[in-house]
Amino acid sequence: MVAADHLLPCSSNPAAVGRRRWSAVAPRRLAALVAVVVAALQLVGIGGAVAATPISDPTNVQVLVNKQRPLNPLRYVPPDLVWGPGGHQMRSVTSSALGRLYAGAAAAGSPLATVSAYRSYDQQAALFASYVNQYGLAYAETISAHPGHSEHQTGLAVDVGNADGSCFGNTPGGRWVAANAWRYGFIVRYPNGYTAITGYTWEPWHLRYVGPALAADMRNRGIATMEQYFSTPPRPAFATAADLGAIDPAGTLWSYPATGRGTLGARVAVGTGWGGVTSGAVVDWNGDGRLDVIGRHTDGTLWFYPGRSTPGLGAGVLLGTGWNGWAITPGPWVNGRATSIIARGPDGVLYQYPNVGNRLGARTVIGRGWGTMTTTMVDVDGDGRQDLIAKRTDGLLLLYRGNGAGGFVPEARAVLGRGWNGISSVSVVFGFAGAGSTGVLARTAVDGGLSYYPLIGGRFAPRILVGSGWSTYRILT
């Protein structure tokens, strides 16, 4: 195991961590993410709730430490460090709570182990510098903190893993932690789908001790991050990877913020004049940690609309022409690379178009014989590599597992579902049913019903009806 902010859930490549839509996947220039790191409580459906005052005292277990809020003093050392479970230093209050959490996990059949805990300012500086040297500054800032900005320096953060050393996020141990950490005063500090808020990729192993009161309050109120709990600034167009975008018949683009409890909140208008967009997707295209929109217009042009830290989207940037008749699926197809586009041409050939400087690079053929199948990109099996779910015209859903290097695992294709020929739209969402959850929102063509299909253990669980009346909307994937 490695003493790092960013552990490896199933792959030796840090970029293989379970990705969000798709703000957690590509390298990000998070230096520009100043105003986004905090987000509105409203985005999780809290309505008019009043935000708590951020805590700055480093000895307080509720201290808020992030990219914009360094420790004070910068070289703070906790006065009550002890050797906790697993032989790692941490604050005494963290150690006691962690011991109880480990006992609970073991009793549930999911024994856990400590991988990393307290790190000094100098240790964090060396670790961050090593990531910069290995991956470059932009990507390093999504997986590790600058010295003085790390939760590990507080002695309140612990990276945990399965006792057998296996991958974590989508294992029974990872799921137990996501569901039960709050009972012991911990939260999963960087949940899936909240990169635009926290500034970090999903870290299902990174537990932060905040005390039983705050952990329970966050859970009861459906608040996923400390940034949301303590702040209420203007909300971006798409603040989390659980939000849904849809264009109405009048050409207005709407954002439907997810509550984090399996429902959608009151919609917010993103902009008008979207009537000419025939299909689109919400994705972090330019790697700045904000969710953008890729849209194809009736004239076959493909455009990139950058997300902002404030409501609305930036001016469109032309990516290409001649895209009519193509099925487009943006996402982090190649581990460690920027978000790219998987596109199925009218001839059934499947291509990957890499993102080169926020433009489309030279395409590569990755498959043939795809006919008129439509695709959805998501890490189905939780191995840290993106997969494609292909829907055939007969309604059969097939799983094409990705190898993380731009191709597919050579194997017989597993069947994920049947009877999906009546589904007219599929959108991948992260955190829709709570921190750490993954699934899809699917619309039924015949009645416009919108349902949530949780993805659990590499399979779809029974659907949950979210709403109706979506027939006339063009839903972004």
DSSP codes, 430-462: ESTTSTT-EEEEEEETTT--EEEEEEETTEEPP
Q: Using CB atoms within 10 A of its CB, is residue 53 exposed (0-12), middle (13-18) or buried (19+)?
A: exposed
Give the Cα separation of 247 and 252 in Å (integer): 5
Percent of the chain scoring above 90 in pLDDT: 67
The pTM is what? Answer: 0.59
Which residues are designated catalytic?
203
Give the Cα separation of 82 and 80 in Å (integer): 6
What per-residue confidence (pLDDT) applies to 5?
A: 56
Is pLDDT above 90 for 75?
yes
Give the Cα separation of 324 and 106 in Å (integer): 55
Q: Using CB atoms within 10 A of its CB, is residue 411 exposed (0-12), middle (13-18) or buried (19+)?
A: exposed
The position carrying tokens 């966050």 is 218
What does the pLDDT look like over 5-62, one tens digit per residue? 544 444 333 333 332 333 333 333 332 332 333 333 333 332 333 457 889 999 999 9
What does the pLDDT look like over 424-465, one tens digit per residue? 999 999 999 988 899 999 999 999 999 999 999 999 999 999
Beta strands 364-367 and 474-475 are unpaired
What per-residue confidence (pLDDT) applies to 234?
A: 62
From the list 161, 154, 157, 198, the residue with the least C-alpha distance to 176 is 161
What per-residue confidence (pLDDT) applies to 288?
A: 87
Give the Cα separation of 114 and 1 in Å (integer): 10
Q: How many CA atoms lie within 13 A of 426 on its CB side?
A: 22
From the list 189, 88, 73, 84, the residue with the least C-alpha distance to 121 is 73
What per-residue confidence (pLDDT) applies to 33?
A: 33
Is pLDDT above 80 for 403?
yes
What does the pLDDT look like over 135-146, one tens digit per residue? 887 788 889 999
From the list 297, 290, 291, the residue with the least C-alpha distance to 323 is 297
8 A C-beta contact, residue 271 and residue 238: no
Residue 261: which pLDDT band, with cuts at 50, 70 and 90? confident
What per-residue confidence (pLDDT) applies to 380?
A: 93
What per-residue confidence (pLDDT) applies to 115?
A: 94
Of the listed ranges 40-44, 86-90, 127-131, 413-417, the least confidently predicted one is 40-44
**Mean per-residue pLDDT for 125-129?**
94
Of the listed ranges 16-30, 269-283, 363-377, 404-418, the least confidently predicted one is 16-30
Percent of the chain scoring above 70 in pLDDT: 88
